[in-house]
Amino acid sequence: MYRKVFISHASEDTDDAEFIYNFLKANHYEPWLDFKALKVGMQWDYEIEQALRESDFVVILLSKVETNKRGYIQREIKRMDRYSEEKLSDDIYILPILLDDCEVPRSLSKYQYMKISQADFAYNLLDSLNIQREKYLETVAINDIALEDCIKKSDSYKLKISSPFDFQIEYYTCRENSFFDANYINSFIEREVYDLIDAFRNSESRYGLNSSPQMEHAYIEIGNSIVIHSPEILSVSTGISEYSGGVHPNHYLSHKHFALNPERTLRLEDFIEYKCLTEWLTDKVDKHAKEDQDFLSDYINAVDEENIDFHWDNDSFTIKFMSVTPHVLTAISYLEIPKGELELKIKI
């Protein structure tokens, strides 16, 4: 919902158009690009008009080639300007992107533009789309919210500290919906985030901060991601990255999984049948640990049903040993098990 993006461009600028098309698709938007969508025999003018009318956003690529052209591209600008009249004055609808030092057409000069060459261009484009999309979704009735639209970005938390830390605390929560109890899931998300903030504040209070030149680069970042696997299962990954003047930054990532309807947390035993966790882990480490992961067997006894951390993707089920291994080994403190070799109790 509210993901359709029409990409307008001159035929000479197809490489830039395709870059933006691929970026938007990778970030779960539905871009429309003429040479991707039009098939032999289609009435191209009709298809373009339909795509433009149905789009929630228009990204128009401006270059010296395009702005100096007369004809179809100018008609496209007039069309999108006409559709923009149906929007609120503070809506983000037309997003001009400058590919070079061209002059912005007068009809588009009222819109803030971006240069494709500027730093964080792709992030800023995505941020504008997400801001407007969130505005649209806030007006949608609860019963009309689609399952994939149940996630929203929470307001950034303002960390009150007197230290030289840079900080960024941005995380996602669940929007009220008709599929599951968002408040139940959000209570766990908030608790996890605030526990990390509390641990940082306690550390700052107990140990203070050294005044070395390294502290100029001190920072703390907290964030999360939410994946709705199906109407029955949801996962939350919460992470912290911080640097306080030591030899290396510290990173930590944890995963929590939920069954929906009724809502409850899921443990490893809900996914996999085993009689003894230690024996099961020993067997899997022996079979699947890589050469640089042989040390994992030394930490199996430190893992139990309460502290074991796991997640999965299309191919693998991953057990993370981060909470029990030395921080210097974080990058390899995990065990990937092919999903095909597991008898799963829950379909994932």
pTM here? 0.81
The residue-averaged pLDDT of 165-187 equals 92
Confidence of residue 214 (pLDDT cuts 50, 70, 90): low
Of 317, 318, 275, 321, nearest to 297 (Cα)? 321
CA distance 194 to 157: 10
Tell me the pLDDT tens digit for each residue of 121-169: 999 999 999 999 999 999 999 999 999 999 998 877 877 766 667 788 9
Choose between 206 and 122: higher pLDDT.
122
Number of Cβ within 10 Å of residue 78's Cβ equals 9
All domains in the chain, ordered by first residue? 4-138 (3.40.50.10140), 145-262 (3.30.565.40), 267-348 (3.90.640)
Of 93, 33, 44, 98, nearest to 67 (Cα)? 98
Choose between 241 and 82: higher pLDDT.
241
Q: Say if residues 231 and 267 touch (Cβ distance below 8 Å).
A: no
Residues 6+ apart with CB under 8 A from 162: none
What confidence score (pLDDT) does residue 162 get? 61
Residues 6+ apart with CB under 8 A from 57: 4, 5, 6, 92, 93, 94, 95, 129, 132
For residue 115, which phi and psi values (nearest 5 degrees)? Answer: -100, 135
What confidence score (pLDDT) does residue 232 get? 95
CA distance 249 to 112: 37
